[in-house]
Structures are given as C-alpha cells and as structure tokens.
Structure 1
Amino acid sequence: MTSTNKTLAQSLLAFSKDFSQQHIKQFGHLPTREHDEQWLSPCELGPHDDSHHYWQPVAVKTESVTDENTETLSFSNVESALDLELHPDIKTYFTTIFSGEIVAECSEGQLSLLFAWNREDFDRLQENIIGHILMKQRLKQAETVFFAVTDEEDMIISVDNTNGEVWVERVGCQPHKKLSDSLVSFIGQLTPKSLVTDTKIKS
C-alpha cells in the first residue's frame, strides 16, 4: 500500500468514526438498522429493539482469518475479468471498512457514500462495478467507478479510473462536473450527517 493509499484509508477510518460519534451526540446512541439473520455484518453490535440492531463502520482486517467477514478483500477478480487495472484509490476505498451507507454533505450538497455491509455485499458490489465499466466501454466513454449516490435520480459520484479525480456523472453519460482532484481530498471535505435533508448535489 502506497503512502497515498494509507492516507486515504486513514481518512476513511477517521470519517467513519466521526459519523458514529456525531450520531451518538445527536441521538444518544449509535445508528440502528433492521436486523436480518440472512444478511449479517461485522458492523452489527447487538439489538436496539426486536427488529433493529445498533451498528457502526468497522475496519476490514488485512490479515487472512477464518471469519469470512474479515478476510482480506481484493479486486483481483474484477481486474482479471475486465483486463483492466483499477485505480488504487478505488480499491482502498472499498476494502478499508465494512459499513452501511453514510449520508454526508459537501459544498455541493448531500450524498450517500456506498460501502460493503458484509463479504457477500462486497461480491455484489464487484459485480455492479464490472457492469458499470462494461457499460462505459460499450459507450466508448472513459472508465469510472461509482462510490456514492445523490438524491437526484441517476446522478452518481465517481472516480476517474485514469487519474483518480472525483466527478459527478449521470448514469450512461460522461462525467460533467469535477468535485475534487482525489478521493482523499474529497473525503476531507465531507461532513457526516445523521439525518437526511432535502439538499442535493447540484448537477
């Protein structure tokens, strides 16, 4: 892992911690989520009520262990399937923490950061990324990888796979608005939000 990737990982861990602390400050407890016995996650911390569990983002362990939820996560199968090397920031972003969606705000408005909830969710995420990149190639557009969504229909936030820049794009279209030179810089601009508001990323 390069120093840039370490910085991104550190930024994500710090941001996810801020999210948990802000939720506790506002509501007096960690966020809750409907519990599903068929969709368990290392993020879950025990019951809040009969149908919901407390949760918080957790670091993905880097060493191989027996628990499938804490194995090293890798994009090697995606890169092999696409015959394409993903930008290091993309791989670091999705393999640093397990988490539910985190609503955040930047100068342009509000968005929801996407993460894998568990190992199975990571596998599903990889399939979606493959589908997104194949669509880009079919449309003869530069490859991007989404990592966040907005309240506006079909509007996503993505990383340019060539240079790591962060852009707004409409699904199926070329990125049209640059938000940051890098993912680590973009994460540094975000403020975690405990409640969803009506603010949207401006297109």
Structure 2
Amino acid sequence: MSNTTSSSELIQALSDLHQRYQAAYADVDRQPTTEYIDEWQAPCYASEVRYGEVAWRPVLQQPKADFSGVEHGLEMPLNAQVKAFYGQFFAADLYVTVDTHPVVLSQVMCSEDLDRLQRNLIAHVLMKRRLGQPETLFIGTGEESEDLIISVDNATGVVGLEYAGKPQHAELAPNLTAFLHQCQARVVAD
C-alpha cells in the first residue's frame, strides 16, 4: 500500500474502526464511556451522566471540521489524511491495540474540543520547527509511556512513533488508512 490513499478510503477505515469499537463493547453488553464535560454539549454523548461518565457513540460532524485557519496560521497545508481523520466524526478517544501495544487514538467530541485540538496541533508543529525536525501531526498516544506519541509525518503520510521533542523513530504504517486497519478495539474496564 502506498503512502497516499484517498479520503474516502480513510473515512471508510475510520468508520469500520468505530463499528468494530462499538461492537466490541456490545459483545460484553456495555457501551463505551468517557468523562462528561459539563461545558461541552458534545453530540456524541449518548446517555445520562453517571458518576461523571457518559456513554458515547460516533456522530457525523455537521459541518465537517475546517482546518483552513490552522493551515493559514502555519503557512502550510495539513496532511489530508489527518484532516479526514479529525474531520469525520464527533467521538470520544478510541482505546485500541496495535501489534500488542495499547494505544489511545485522539478524536474530537464537539466544536470546543476541535478548537482545543487545533491549538495543540499548531503548538506541536511549532515545536517541531523550533527543534529542526520533520513536521508531524499527532493522532494519539501510546499507553506504555506518557511521552510516546502516534504521529503522521505531514510530508510523507507515514504513521510512526515519536517521543515528545524527538523525531519519529519507528514506522507503524505507510499511511493512516493502513494504520487504522491494524487497530484492534480494546474494551476498557470502568
């Protein structure tokens, strides 16, 4: 598989992952939950709040996320894979396993969360520039270390691992679509 795939292929892979994720929870007669944030009226919230947690489900973004302000501010186009990844669904983060490694894939739950994500993407790219490293865009974190980041190389589209402040040191997949196909849903206990 090449480093580039169409947005429709990526959106299908992300949709399939969300379906596998919801099914994994249904198999154990549960729903995935996330921390309830009172200030957010997240469209993905799917139940009443219990003990500060709320069940969620993926909901198509309407309208789709707009990254033009980020691209203008950084004076560079963002990798189309990453824009499609963050611009399709409102959802809570996805707990998955990739090659036996526990990973948390970032998602956006609402427009306020999208604003926060975009500020963090800008800060990440500016840090990479300051350090003279290839520009990457984060899509998640590894649970084995709080400094381990799952990122997409903005120029090549390669999905890899990097530690905070360091360049990518390991390739996980040639593109985000291939990476999403590798992800196995992981049911997280309360």
Report the TM-score when normalising by structure 1.
0.86
User: 1:126, 1:191 → 2: CA distance?
Assistant: 27
Is 1:155–1:170's contact at 8 Å kept on the other side of the alignment?
yes
- What is the correspondence of 1:20-169 to structure 2 with a 5 Å cutoff? 20-26=22-28, 28-47=29-48, 49=50, 51-60=52-61, 70-107=62-99, 109-151=101-143, 152-169=145-162
User: 1:37, 1:153 → 2: CA distance?
Assistant: 26
Is 1:156–1:169's contact at 8 Å kept on the other side of the alignment?
yes
After superposition, the C-alpha distances for 1:56-100 in whole angstroms (9 at most, x for unaligned) are 12222xxxxxxxxx3231110000000011111011010011111
State yes or no: 1:189 paired with 2:182: yes
User: 1:108, 1:34 → 2: CA distance?
Assistant: 26
Is 2:64–2:88's contact at 8 Å kept on the other side of the alignment?
no
Q: Give 1:153 shift.
A: 2.3
Deviates more, 1:145-154 or 1:50-59: 50-59
Report the TM-score when normalising by structure 2.
0.91
User: 2:101, 2:43 → 1: CA distance?
Assistant: 30
User: 2:135, 2:69 → 1: CA distance?
Assistant: 17
Higher relative contact order (CA 8 A, sep 6+): 2
Deviates more, 1:2-11 or 1:80-89: 2-11
User: 1:185, 1:14 → 2: CA distance?
Assistant: 12
Give the letter for the 2:95 counterpart: V
Query: Which structure 1 residue ranges, 5 or more long, are not aligned?
Result: 61-69, 197-203
Q: Give 1:144 shift.
A: 0.3
User: 1:154, 1:121 → 2: CA distance?
Assistant: 21
User: 1:171, 1:51 → 2: CA distance?
Assistant: 30
Is 2:36–2:49's contact at 8 Å kept on the other side of the alignment?
no
User: 1:137, 1:49 → 2: CA distance?
Assistant: 43
Q: What secondary structure does 2:47 align onto?
A: strand
User: 1:135, 1:76 → 2: CA distance?
Assistant: 20
User: 1:182, 1:109 → 2: CA distance?
Assistant: 18
2:164 matched residue in structure 1: 171
Among all aligned residue pairs of Structure 1 and Structure 2, give the percentage whose two residues are the same amino acid.
Answer: 31
Root-mean-square deviation (CA), in Å? 1.7
- Cα distance change, pair 176–33 in 1 and its aligned pair in 2 (3 A): closer
Give the letter for the 1:129 counterpart: L
Q: What secondary structure does 2:92 align onto?
A: coil
User: 1:187, 1:84 → 2: CA distance?
Assistant: 25
Q: How many residues align?
A: 185
